[in-house]
């Protein structure tokens, strides 16, 4: 299990982040001020640091600089209310891997954490194939091969992206808005049925001829991929 250090002086925000990441399967620890946060970040016990900038004791820029000097490969995501371009540039120049401006959606933070870990894994294991699996459905992200019961299933590029998003969030309900924004890259238009159309395409290919059915509709909420 990967362990994430959260350095954030706002206790409500820190606990919300911690709870959300624990729900995603990570272990977390929280530091509420800068000097303690730096000491913990340098301890070698953590796989990623989520770091606020405006902290009592020692600000996030200095912590980031210190940590990057001693642990060049430890991923750091900065969280801050400072949204000017200059603030972002300074954070990245101090060594942050990513930058998220408050207020933010916890789902976006989760996605950025996952991206950081994928980047770390790719650097550490450049030849490792990434495979997502649920029941007898296998999705190889390196070779772009999808199969069920050892039978290859041909998907279009957009179907593949849709299935990948569902698989990365398996066991969780994702809304039409989530899918529209993350798969198609546009703000959700309630008048369009593109999400339903592509969900039906996927069902025909990965569910119609197989049991158990994996893609389920949650009326008024969205879709979930899971094994019954």
Q: What domains are there in the chain, each with its CATH number?
A: 3-124 (3.40.50.2300), 131-225 (1.10.10.10)
Residue 176: what pLDDT?
87
DSSP class per residue in 142-172: TTTEEEETTEEE---HHHHHHHHHHHHTTTS
Pairing of strands 145-148, 151-153: antiparallel
Q: pTM of whole model > 0.85? A: no
Residue 22: what pLDDT?
92
Radius of gyration of the chain (CA): 20
Residue 30: what pLDDT?
96
Look-up: residue for tokens 């976006």?
Answer: 108
* Terminal-residue alpha carbon distance, the chain: 25
Residue 189: what pLDDT?
63
Query: What would the mean pLDDT of 66-90 be, rounded to a whole number?
Result: 83
DSSP state letter for 44:
T
Percentage above 70 pLDDT, the chain: 92
Query: What would the mean pLDDT of 95-102 be, rounded to a whole number?
Result: 85
Residue 178: what pLDDT?
84
Residue 31: what pLDDT?
96
Reported as half-sphere exposure (CB side, CA atoms, 13 A), residue 147 has a value of: 8
Residue ranges in the chain assigned as alpha helix (H): 11-23, 34-41, 60-70, 85-93, 106-124, 157-168, 176-179, 194-206
**pLDDT beyond 90 at 227:** no
Q: Which two tokens stand for residue 111?
A: 């996605």
Query: Measured between alpha carbons, how far is 83 from 102 in angstroms, rounded to an integer?
Result: 8
Question: Pick the residue with more confidence: 203 or 188?
Answer: 203
* Banded pLDDT at 200 (limits 50, 70, 90): very high
* Banded pLDDT at 213 (limits 50, 70, 90): very high
Query: What would the mean pLDDT of 61-71 be, rounded to a whole number?
Result: 91
Instruction: For residue range 147-174, list pLDDT tens digits in order.
Output: 999 899 999 988 999 999 999 888 889 9
Residue 228: what pLDDT?
73
């Amino acid at each position: 299990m990967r362990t994430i250090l959260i350095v954030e002086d706002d206790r409500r925000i820190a606990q919300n982040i911690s709870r959300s990441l624990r729900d995603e399967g990570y272990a977390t620890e929280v530091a509420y001020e800068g000097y303690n946060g730096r000491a913990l970040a340098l301890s070698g016990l953590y796989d990623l640091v989520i770091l606020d900038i405006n902290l009592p004791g020692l600000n996030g820029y200095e912590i980031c600089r210190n940590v990057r000097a001693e642990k060049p490969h430890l991923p750091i995501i900065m969280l801050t209310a400072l949204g000017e371009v200059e603030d972002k540039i300074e954070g990245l120049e101090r060594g942050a891997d990513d930058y998220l401006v408050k207020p933010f959606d916890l789902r976006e933070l989760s996605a950025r954490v996952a991206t950081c870990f994928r980047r770390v894994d790719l650097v550490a294991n450049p030849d490792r194939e990434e495979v997502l699996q649920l029941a007898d459905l296998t999705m190889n992200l390196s070779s772009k091969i999808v199969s069920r019961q050892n039978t290859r299933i041909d998907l279009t590029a957009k179907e593949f992206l849709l299935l990948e998003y569902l698989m990365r969030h398996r066991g969780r309900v994702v809304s039409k808005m989530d899918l529209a924004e993350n798969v198609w890259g546009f703000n959700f238009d309630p008048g369009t049925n593109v999400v339903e159309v592509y969900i039906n395409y996927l069902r025909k290919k990965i569910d119609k001829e197989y049991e158990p059915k994996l893609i389920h509709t949650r009326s008024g909420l969205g879709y979930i991929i899971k094994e019954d």
